[in-house]
Chain A
Amino acid sequence: MIIATIVLAVSVAAGCAGLIALAARDGRAYAIAAPLLFGALLLWCWEVVCLGFGVPRVLLPAPSGIAQAFVANLPTLWADFVQTVIRAVVPGYLIGCGAGYLTAIALDRSAFLRRGFLPLAGLLGAMPIVGIAPIMVMWFGFDWPSKAAVAAVMTFFPMLINTVAGLSTTGALERDLMRSYGASYWQTLLKLRLPAALPYVFIALKLNFTLALIGAIVAEFFGTPIVGMGFRISTEAARLDLDVVWAEIALAALTGSACFAALALLERAVLFWHPSFQKFALSKP
């Protein structure tokens, strides 16, 4: 107990000193190192507190215990991952984002429909949409289609709203230029307006993956076959097997962050021409 207190105090002091030193310097490497050190310090303190003060495992397992549980339960975790992410989240995400994108382009043709739909879409988008999970379970059954449906509905509105906003970003000057080239509506759309809308589309794409993951996991609380991340979390939590629950949460967090990072890289690759990704972009005054 005393040793743990000393270790904790020393590591917190050393860590803080290190953080202050790192944060005081400019440069990309330091900007990456500082949060990494912070995360490592947090994990270390968690470990020391759990082991040193004998925190019961049913309350908070130590990171090392979670890591062990992660490795020991790899086959289960993989089965849950396939069920929840590959079977439910990915199709739901693709369907929801695709439908939102296409609906936005369709609405773009008619000012009347846009004025009619957009306020309602904004309203619906602000609603607690996860609540439709029990209805979807009733309609599409216990297996993955109902989870994919929740994910699709949840991702639809952000994509729709963002794409519509993105399509309206092109200025009169650019559109006039396209007109002077004699470009048709579709040419203007494909060559000017859809590329210009891409930054907005990527905002929705990055935001939506987590939404889809949340939708699928919450939908599993309403009934599932005996596999899946949401199912595992709720049943293992009820059995007080918190190592496994934390391992599952770590898996969900890794999935969410990895997909976010992948989408951010894709954005960089696709939008290399956009001012916000130019190296010598004009900075904000």
Chain B
Amino acid sequence: MNDALRRAAPIVVVLAATIVVWYAAAVAMNLSAAQALAGTGAGPGAVARAAWSLDRPLLPAPHQIAQTLFTGVFTEPVTSPRSLVYHAAVTAGTALLGFGLALVLGIALAVAIVGTRTLDRSLMPWVIASQTIPVLAIAPMVVVVLGNIGLSGILPKALIAGWLSFFPITTAMVTGLRAPDRMQFDLMRTYNAGNRDVFMQLRWPASMGFLFAGVKVAATLALVGAIVAELPTGAQAGLGARLLAGSYYGQTLQIWAALVMAALLTLLAVGATDAAQRVLVARRGGRL
């Protein structure tokens, strides 16, 4: 308990300081609008209160964001396009589908790369080089082109999310499948184990720790991909569409609420990964 307190104390202090600075910054950034709202000759207290309750503040106060988030999540019916739960579900569904594709293809490709020297030498450099390409830039084109051939809806967006999250999974699995050292391979040889057994009994179990590290990065990237892929679809549904619509109409509160919702989704994804990892660790007797 004492240990937890000692670890939490600095975080709480930093968080509290951030909130104080945030409120001060909200007054500073919204000063002119707040003065207009409070009227001439209003005291500093009235101006501050006005700055923290503007409809379209340049920087909303934390409680305004919390309020918008609360109405968006709890008061609106889930099917309404004003409900943040609805938009978050659209984004999460896209990200999940993309992530699933990336997981299957990423692992398959990693297995192929580790198993075939030709692929390792010729394809792996390209997998790594593909990371220096700003893939998100092609999102609008993918959506438009696939829309052209009649593919619209979730699939184009999921492809972008999947493409982004595919890389960390592949590299993590390639590293993981190669993680066992020579002595362990030699031991398998003394057991007269075939390629299949070496893979199932040694390489695959050894790669799991790496896989989860990659999955944690990939889950976040899948969400980023899903959000950005929603931008060119013309702001219909999803957190990205929410951001774009908020940007068009200057609805800052809506933007911030969507951002916080995206952050919560990320936390959920990382938490789910952690939980899955814990289940696996428990099933394997406390080790990964």
Contacts and interface: CB of A to CB of B under 8 A. Distances in A.
Interface in A205-220: 209-210, 213-214, 217-218
Contacts of B250: 138
B252 interface: yes
B258 interface: yes
A45 to B, nearest CB: 14
B122, B149, B231, B246 — which one has the most chain A CB atoms within 10 A of its CB?
B122
A116 interface: yes
Contact of A234 (B120, B125, B224, B232): B232
B210 interface: no
Interface residues of B, number: 56
A131 B262 contact: yes
B133 A256 contact: yes
A230 interface: yes
A256 B121 contact: no
B145 A222 contact: no
Interface in A112-130: 112-117, 119-120, 123, 126-128, 130
A249 B132 contact: no
A234 B139 CA distance: 9
A209 B135 CA distance: 13
Contact of A285 (B13, B123, B137, B182): B182
B14 A37 contact: no
Nearest to B15: A120
A59 interface: yes
Contacts of A4: none
Contacts of A38: 122-123, 126
Nearest to A251: B137
A35 B7 contact: no
B259 A22 contact: no
A91 interface: no
Interface in A13-53: 16, 19-20, 22-24, 30-31, 34-35, 37-39
A199 interface: no
B132, B227, B263 — which one has the most chain A CB atoms within 10 A of its CB?
B132
B117 interface: yes
A130 B224 contact: yes
A135 B251 CA distance: 10
A62 interface: no
A139 interface: yes
Interface stretch (A95-103, A187-195, A238-246): A238-246
A240 B145 CA distance: 8
A127 B263 contact: yes
Contacts of A223: 247
Contacts of B141: 233, 237, 242, 245-246, 249
Contact of A19 (B122, B182, B228, B262): B122
A23 B11 contact: no
Interface residues of A, number: 65
Given A213-B134, A285-B182, A116 B247 contact: no
B270 interface: yes
Given A131-B227, A138-B250, A237 B140 contact: yes
A145 interface: no
A8 interface: no
B110 interface: no
B10 A134 contact: no
Interface in B158-173: none
A159 B255 CA distance: 26
Contact of B137 (A23, A128, A137, A230): A230
Contacts of A133: 243
B140 A221 contact: yes
A73 interface: no
B223 A113 contact: no
B181 A285 contact: yes
Contacts of A74: none
Contacts of A34: 118, 121-122
A43 B149 CA distance: 23
B266 A217 contact: no
A206 to B, nearest CB: 8
Contacts of B243: 131, 133-134, 222
B120 A23 contact: yes
A135 B244 contact: no
A214 B134 contact: yes
Given A35-B124, A210-B134, 11 more contacts: A19-B121, A20-B118, A59-B148, A114-B10, A128-B266, A135-B255, A221-B231, A222-B231, A230-B137, A253-B133, A285-B182
- Please list the 4 inter-chain residue pairs (A to B) with the smallest Cβ-Cβ separation, ordered nearest first: A116-B10, A134-B247, A116-B14, A38-B122
19 contacts: A19-B121, A31-B121, A38-B122, A112-B10, A115-B10, A119-B11, A134-B244, A135-B259, A210-B131, A214-B134, A217-B137, A221-B231, A222-B243, A242-B145, A249-B138, A253-B134, A256-B132, A259-B132, A260-B132
